[in-house]
């Protein structure tokens, strides 16, 4: 009897096993052979579904950011004011940025041999949180809470401020970093709150 082959399920299993391996061994330390062995599918199956290791990692990273965006979208309505949303999104970034794949992402971004297209896709991952920040700022403008002359620049600055703090997730204790995230919002609000 012929074995039923579910392409979507195969792709999902390969991605899940690859994510575990990347988290444990890093990008360079994980081979397609490792992924094949761990997933139970041939190297041919891995290449058929993902073309190469970088594309496989990109799929995992993009799925992770989609889930991040979905989680934020689900809780954002719980905060009534734009100010409350801004504090909440900063805490959300801190609490949801440190994933097992973060170090792998950083490893790949600093790899001089990485495909330039892959690097562009990695940098494009910031669009998800940037859209969340922009929506909070727009909400504040719409309800008269914020006075912002240039929405794109404000979003860019806020995103980079939080992004700079995120670089310390592995080197600072959580409570100190949490205070810094919250203080950053307080300082930032000083420039945009309607007087």
10 belongs to a structural domain: no
Chain centre distance of CA 133 = 13
| pLDDT score at 2 | 46
68 belongs to a structural domain: yes
What number of residues does the chain have? 195
pLDDT over 70 at 5, yes or no: no
User: To which residue do tokens 């809470």 refer?
Assistant: 145
Of residues 110 and 128, the one with the higher pLDDT is 128
23 belongs to a structural domain: no
8 belongs to a structural domain: no
pLDDT digits (tens, 9 = 90+) for 56-103: 999 999 999 999 999 999 999 999 999 999 999 999 999 988 777 877
Q: Average pLDDT of the chain?
A: 91
Of residues 117 and 85, the one with the higher pLDDT is 85
Residue 166 in tokens: 């995120």
Taking a C-beta distance cutoff of 8 angstroms, is the pair 59, 162 a contact?
no
pLDDT digits (tens, 9 = 90+) for 178-193: 999 999 999 999 999 9
3-state helix, strand, coil in the chain (%, to 5): 75, 0, 25
Of residues 90 and 123, the one with the higher pLDDT is 90
pTM, whole model, 2 decimals?
A: 0.84
| DSSP symbol at 40 | T
In this structure, the number of other CB atoms found within 10 A of the CB of residue 39 comes to 20
27 belongs to a structural domain: no
Which residues have a Cβ under 8 Å from the Cβ of 9 and sit 6 or more positions away?
A: none
Tell me the average pLDDT across 153-167: 93
- Grouping H, G, I as helix, E, B as strand and the rest as coil, residue 146 is strand
Domain count of the fold of the chain: 1
Which contacts qualify for 110-117: CB closer than 8 Å, 24 or more apart? 111/27, 111/28, 114/54, 115/54
- What is the domain range of residue 108? 58-190
3 belongs to a structural domain: no
Spatial distance between the Cα atoms of 15 and 17, rounded to a whole number of angstroms? 6
| DSSP symbol at 78 | G
168 belongs to a structural domain: yes
User: To which residue do tokens 């995120």 refer?
Assistant: 166
90 belongs to a structural domain: yes
CATH number of the domain to which 162 belongs: 1.10.357.10
pLDDT over 90 at 47, yes or no: yes
Which residues have a Cβ under 8 Å from the Cβ of 2 and sit 6 or more positions away?
A: none
């Amino acid at each position: 009897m012929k074995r039923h082959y579910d392409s979507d399920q195969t792709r999902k299993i390969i991605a899940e096993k690859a994510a575990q391996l990347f988290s444990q061994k890093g990008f360079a330390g994980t081979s397609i052979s490792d992924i094949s062995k761990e997933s139970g599918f041939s190297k041919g199956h891995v290449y058929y579904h993902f073309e190469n290791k970088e594309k496989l990692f990109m799929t995992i990273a993009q799925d992770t950011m989609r889930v991040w965006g979905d989680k934020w979208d689900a809780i954002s309505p719980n905060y009534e004011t734009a100010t409350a949303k801004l504090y909440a999104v900063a805490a959300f970034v801190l609490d949801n940025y440190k994933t097992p794949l973060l170090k792998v992402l950083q490893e790949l971004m600093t790899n001089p041999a990485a495909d330039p297209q892959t690097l562009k896709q990695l940098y494009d991952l910031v669009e998800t949180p940037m859209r969340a920040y922009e929506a909070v700022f727009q909400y504040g403008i719409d309800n008269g809470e914020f006075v912002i002359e240039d929405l794109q620049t404000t979003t860019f600055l806020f995103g980079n401020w939080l992004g700079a703090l995120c670089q310390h997730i592995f080197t600072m204790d959580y409570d100190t970093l949490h205070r810094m995230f919250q203080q950053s919002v307080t300082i930032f609000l000083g420039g945009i709150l309607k007087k």
